[in-house]
Every structure is written in structure tokens, then in C-alpha cells.
Structure 1
Amino acid sequence: MADQTSPTTTRDLVKVIQTVKPESKPLPGYEGQHHTRMFVGVCMDECYPGLYIGDMGAATNKEYLKHVGITHVLNTAQGNKITTVNTKASFYEDSGIKYKGIQLLDVPSANIKQYFDEGAEFINDALESGGRILVHCFMGISRSATIACAFLMLKRNMTAVEALTTLRKNRQVYPNDGFLSQLSELDNSLQKRGKL
């Protein structure tokens, strides 16, 4: 979308996080009601049409997901270690939600870029079929946001700055520095190939 001539750096993405402040808005599905986030016990925001980013509370509340119309869930923190979310496809069977899990820890050294393509494909398939997708991790700020950024870059032709800005306008996301570095690498690779 944007015409860029210089390489994107991690610093460019940190600047987005520092300057773009999310709008305050009600919990999806409970518009017009006050203090619902604490009452329902979930934290989830629509960050792009049909694409929601949320936390473990949202991911494990199947009744809420059905209320909002979520058809797909991408767990970017699958596992049973600290700061992971131990759900699998079988957890969602009774709700008809399609599931994909990625085992990834929220540490700067984690190789999240290996999941960019498959995560982007799963999100794109959900949206192209008319569905709504929740992309989540433990808190809904780093792993999930990074995969959502990669989707916007790979499937919606946004730069890393545009993708992160889009998400930040709707949710307090903050990918760790290692993930920001991998997003800037993706951005620069797409620029070189003329994809942005």
C-alpha cells in the first residue's frame, strides 16, 4: 500500500506502539453495556473486519465466542506450559468452531516467522468463507498480534507499519522485540519482491 524506499526497522515498529493509542470501545457483542469486560471475564477486540484478537479468557469461553459469531480460532500459544493455552480442536468440537494451534512461547528468541504463512492462510480462509476468527495467545498482545500483522502484510498487502497501526488502533497490542524484528524482516523481504 505505502511507497517505501528505506528498509523497515524494529525501531519503526516500536514507534507505532509508542504513538498509536487504541480507541476505547465496548466488548464485542455487548455494545452499549458498561463494565462488561470484567463481568464476562474475557478480553477481545475486533482489529480488522472479522478478525478478533483476544486472550485466554476469550478463547476458553465457548458461549461467548458463539454469542459473537466466531467460526474459527487460531491459538498462537498452544501448550500446557506457563503463558500457554491448553486447548485443542476437540475443545471446540461441540461448538462447530474450526481450530488451528501453534506451539510458541512469547520470548524474543522464538522463531515465529516459521508460522507466518500458515497462520495467514488460516485467517484468510476464515474471512474469505464469510467467517469470523479469533486469533489469541495468553494475553492477546504479542504472539497473536504478530501473526495477525503477518496476515495483513501477506494477504492484505499492508506494510508492517500499516498492519501494526491497524491493530493498535483497536487493541493494546505489543509484540516483543524479537517478533517486531521478524515482522520488519518480512516487510523488507516483501518490498524486495515488489509485494508491498
Structure 2
Amino acid sequence: MSNWSSFYSRRVTCKQDFQKPLAGGETTVHQLVTALHSTKTGHKPLPGYDPNVDSREYYRAQQNIDCNEVYPRIFIGDGITAKNKAYLQRIGITHVVNAAEGRKFGLVNTDGNFYKDTLIRYIGFNMLDLPSTDISQFFYSAAGFIKRAHDSGGRIYVHCVQGVSRSATLVIAYLMIEKGMLAMDAIRTVRLSRDIHPNEGFLRQLALLDNQLRRQRLR
């Protein structure tokens, strides 16, 4: 088959996949918003600390830490915690995903050099928490990084500034791409352990990803 014929065949296949009806219809933003707000976040102790220890110094050490394990060995937290290398090492973090890399307002100024005095491996994505941001361009590269880390037994810390939108969206996409979860199930999984709030634009892109993955599984 010539290159042109192969290209044309892929285009036809993609068009057919796009037209394939989905059981239950298309995943919509409204469905994802409903899944988000109908799932109550439970209280869990801070990773790395024993809730039964009663000590002023112990409590003080936890004050500036914001971190939750949302899936076995996958953690979501904020940018301040991302800079607390002692804490990351305390809970055995081996990989860090910065979903807000950069020096401007609304970003977290870390990179691979920041962790060079540790064994932590790093990847960063420069994007703002705006509905117009194309976060989908990072779905597969982030999911691949997290998968390789997770498959090797690593512990992954995914963060943005507050740990509620950009980082949560990347973890949800990972669960969809690599763990085969539907978007609503992935959102509920993360939301059960952390009070996340992906913006509407990110939810729209997760809905599109969900429909694409569902059609691929029809093949």
C-alpha cells in the first residue's frame, strides 16, 4: 500500500470511529460536573504522619503540607509541598510531575535541577489554569511518564499551584488512558481522596478524551 493510500485509509478509519454510536450516548461536560459534585471527599490522614501522635512539633511540621494519595502510590498536592524535598523523600516520592512549570504568576518555579540533590525524577508542563488552555496536548506524555514510574514501583507526586485543577486533570487522564477507567469513574476515584475542581475547559477536554477512548475500544 502506498503512503497516500495508507494515509487515506487512516483518515477513513478515524472518520468511521468518530461516527460510531456510543452506548449511553456521548460523555458530556454536564455528566462530569455531576460526577464531581456528587462525590464527597473523605478525610484521610496526611501521608507520612501518624494521626495518633500528639505533639506540638509534629503538628507544626504538617502545617505547610498539602498532599493526598488519590490512587495507590499516586499523590496530588500543591506547589509549596512540591518544594519540600524533605517531605517528598519522607513519603518515598520517586517522581514529580509539575503541571504548572514556570516563573510567572500562577506557576511553580521548579525544574529538574531543583531535585538534582535527590533521586527524584522530574517532568514539567507549562500551562495556566484557564478554561482556554489546551491541557489535552499533555495527556499522553504525562500519562506515559506516570505509567513508567508506577510500573517500576515508584511513587509519583503530581502538583500544580493548589493541586485541584491542572494536576488533578492529568491524573484523571492517566487513569483513563492507562487504567481503562471511564472519565466519571476516574473523577470519582480522585475526588474521594482529594477535593479537586478541574475548570470547565479541562472537563470538556476530558469528556472528548473519554469519547475518543470509548470509540477506540469498540474496534
Hey, what's the Cα distance between the residues in 1 that align with 2:29 and 2:205? Answer: 8
Q: Which amino acid aligns with 1:15?
A: T
Cα offset for 1:37? 8.1
Work out which of the residue numbers 14, 23, 43 in structure 1 matches 2:42. 23
Report the number of matched residues: 194
Q: Structure 1: which amino acid aligns with 2:89?
A: K
Q: Distance in 1 between matches of 2:187 and 2:86?
A: 29
| Structure 1 position 20, deviation (Å) | 0.5
Deviations 1:43-88 (A, max 9, x none): 0100000100000121000000000000000000000111110001
- Unaligned stretches of 5+ residues in structure 1: none
Aligned to 2:150: 127
Deviations 1:127-186 (A, max 9, x none): 001000001000000000000010000000000001000000000011000000000000
Counterpart selection for 2:29 from 10, 17, 26: 10
Q: Which residue of 1 aligns with 2:65?
A: 42
Q: CA RMSD in A?
A: 1.8
1:146–1:179 Cα contact (<8 Å) kept: yes
Match of 1:118 among 98, 118, 141: 141
* Secondary structure at the counterpart of residue 213 of structure 2: helix
Query: Counterpart of 2:128?
Result: 105
Q: Which residue of 1 aligns with 2:103?
A: 80
Gap runs ≥5 in structure 2:
1-21
Q: Is the 8 A contact 1:157 1:195 kept in 2?
A: no
SS in 1 for 2:144: helix
Give the whole-Å Cα distance in 2 for the aligned partners of 1:164 and 1:4: 20
The change in CA–CA distance for 1:5 and 1:37 in structure 2 (over 3 A counts) is farther
1:40 is displaced (CA, Å) by 3.8
The 3-state SS of whatever aligns with 2:122 is strand
Which structure is larger by alpha-carbon Rg, 1 or 2?
2
Contact in 2 for aligned 1:26/1:36 (Cα 8 Å): no
Percent identity over the alignment? 44
Pair 1:157 & 2:141 matched? no
Q: 1:143 to 1:37 in 2, by over 3 A?
A: farther
